[in-house]
Chains A and B, each alone.
Chain A
């Protein structure tokens, strides 16, 4: 049985009331709260939660990584309110067709001024409405508290993943155990806390370890570098984040007590990994997981070097198996199915998370070597089924990218007429190359069925906040 959030807050507030629990940085400065302050404020929020509008749907929390936001999140969870996390830079609240609206939220809580930019159909509250004013006894609901998060989904709309708070706390224990986090650590989260990596690897891991949490309320490299100098021992970022950090700081001028650097949100290229490791003086460890499952595999500190290209070994409590994938050219690869200690409870719009045996199909094509190292050969939706042939679009991208006037490319599958898929390429071109020339180039290097059916010339590839190419937006915008 995992300790509850309130148990954890009580433990730290009693043992080290005056130690800083969380500091949030912005260009205007840092604000901090001690464990005693955080416990008091979160308990008061729990007490005010009974004043929130009633409604079947979750409370949508607009997550800006501020102390007020963290306080409200903890308070609502303590009060057993269902909470749906969205990051502050989002377009869902203005889009009445979005998954957030389909969840029929009882209200939206966020930073001041939110209501002016969002749909009038929702009820808005500021963090301040919950962090200040009279508070009663915590209104504890009868049900287990749930945290909902958006997931990119597959080819369709976004979906909402449900996790119990106990699951989130369990996920924090896994990070703590794998990476040896303690109360002397300072965990610096440079990614949004609304997503699984920041929420579990950052907030929950710090809570279970009693570590100090550092966050950024607005991405700014000077503030980030200041956080690194200010005692961060663990940092969480994305491949792009590491690229920025490496670009902005010479090794000789970067003093820090950093001992652990974690990367998630997308594949970490060898180039960025090497550049960041050189600048930070430590190896960057990859986390491979999903919103649905939590951590699946990771690399961690050990004396033996990790094989190139591996995302590490399976985490504690992960059961896995591979589904045969006869149609691909990879004899030893298969689709990864996993069952973790932090499995989701299901999607908001449908009950079952799996086909029945508790395993989640990651959709990723992987290979596992004899020593248990996991290699991701192709990520979810990264094959396109063309008439029964599974084409790896990453390979097509690589081939097309060899054209000297292709700056960026995304290749993806889209539904054609009937139930078939076809290959689309969205491409950023420089110089005078046009679609005709590009297709001529493709045909000289690819089998006819591998040549994109459609080429969209775009000015930039749409990306998610974590830097992944958003195939969903590509499909929607080019429909």
Chain B
């Protein structure tokens, strides 16, 4: 998640927005996360993307997003 900010990887509890992220960057990261770690099934992948978009603004840490991804 640091990459998109041109930073080293974020620590599990680093907040993406606190580290300089914005909504546009967030969208980019989430799409990437779904491609890289999401399910193959496209309907499920879309559900995951939706959940991640919601979760990102609640808690934008790698740790929190990993919990969401872990459910898929």
Partner-B contacts on A (CB < 8 A): 27, 219-222, 225, 240, 243-244, 247-250, 459-460, 463, 467
Q: A459-B5, A460-B6 are in contact. Are A244 and B53 (CB under 8 A)?
A: yes
Partner-A contacts on B (CB < 8 A): 4-6, 22-25, 27, 30, 46-47, 49-50, 53-54, 56-58
A460 x B5 contact (CB < 8 A) = yes
A222 x B57 contact (CB < 8 A) = yes
Q: A219-B23, A240-B23, A467-B24 are in contact. Are A247 and B58 (CB under 8 A)?
A: no
Q: How far is the CA of A219 from the CA of B6 in the complex (A)?
A: 24
Q: How far is the CA of A249 from the CA of B57 in the complex (A)?
A: 14
Residues of A within 8 A of B57 (CB): 219-222
Residues of A within 8 A of B56 (CB): 221
Given A219-B57, A221-B57, A460-B6, 7 additional A-B pairs, CB 8 A: A219-B23, A225-B54, A240-B27, A250-B47, A459-B4, A459-B5, A467-B24
For B26, the closest partner residue in chain A by CB is: A244
Q: A244-B27, A247-B27, A247-B49 are in contact. Are A463 and B22 (CB under 8 A)?
A: yes
B6, B49, B53: which contacts A459 (Cβ < 8 A)? B6
For B20, the closest partner residue in chain A by CB is: A460
Q: A222-B58, A459-B5, A460-B4 are in contact. Are A247 and B23 (CB under 8 A)?
A: no
Residues of B within 8 A of A219 (CB): 23, 57
B27 x A243 contact (CB < 8 A) = yes
For B50, the closest partner residue in chain A by CB is: A248
Q: A459-B5, A460-B4 are in contact. Are A248 and B24 (CB under 8 A)?
A: no
The binding surface of chain B is classed by DSSP as helix
B53 x A248 contact (CB < 8 A) = yes
Q: How far is the CA of A221 from the CA of B53 in the complex (A)?
A: 8
Q: A220-B58, A459-B5 are in contact. Are A247 and B24 (CB under 8 A)?
A: no
A249 x B50 contact (CB < 8 A) = yes
Q: How far is the CA of A247 from the CA of B23 in the complex (A)?
A: 12
Which 3 residue pairs are nearest across A and B when measured between Cβ atoms? A459-B6, A248-B53, A220-B57
Residues of A within 8 A of B27 (CB): 240, 243-244, 247
Q: Chain A nearest CB: distance from B25 CB in Å?
A: 6
Residues of B within 8 A of A220 (CB): 57-58
B25 x A250 contact (CB < 8 A) = no
21 A–B contacts, CB within 8 A, in A order: A219-B57, A220-B57, A221-B54, A221-B56, A225-B54, A240-B23, A240-B24, A240-B27, A244-B23, A244-B53, A247-B30, A247-B53, A248-B50, A248-B53, A248-B54, A250-B46, A250-B50, A459-B5, A459-B6, A463-B22, A467-B24
Q: How far is the CA of A196 from the CA of B22 in the complex (A)?
A: 22
Q: Chain B nearest CB: distance from A216 CB in Å?
A: 10
For B21, the closest partner residue in chain A by CB is: A460
For B46, the closest partner residue in chain A by CB is: A250
Residues of A within 8 A of B49 (CB): 247
Residues of B within 8 A of A463 (CB): 22, 24
Q: How far is the CA of A196 from the CA of B56 in the complex (A)?
A: 28
Q: Chain B nearest CB: distance from A15 CB in Å?
A: 37
For A467, the closest partner residue in chain B by CB is: B24
Q: How far is the CA of A243 from the CA of B22 in the complex (A)?
A: 14
Q: How far is the CA of A225 from the CA of B58 in the complex (A)?
A: 13
Q: How far is the CA of A219 from the CA of B56 in the complex (A)?
A: 11
Which residue, A27, A248, A463, has most C-beta atoms of chain B within 10 A?
A248
A247 x B50 contact (CB < 8 A) = yes
For B7, the closest partner residue in chain A by CB is: A459
Q: Chain A nearest CB: distance from B50 CB in Å?
A: 5
Residues of B within 8 A of A244 (CB): 23, 27, 53
For A460, the closest partner residue in chain B by CB is: B25
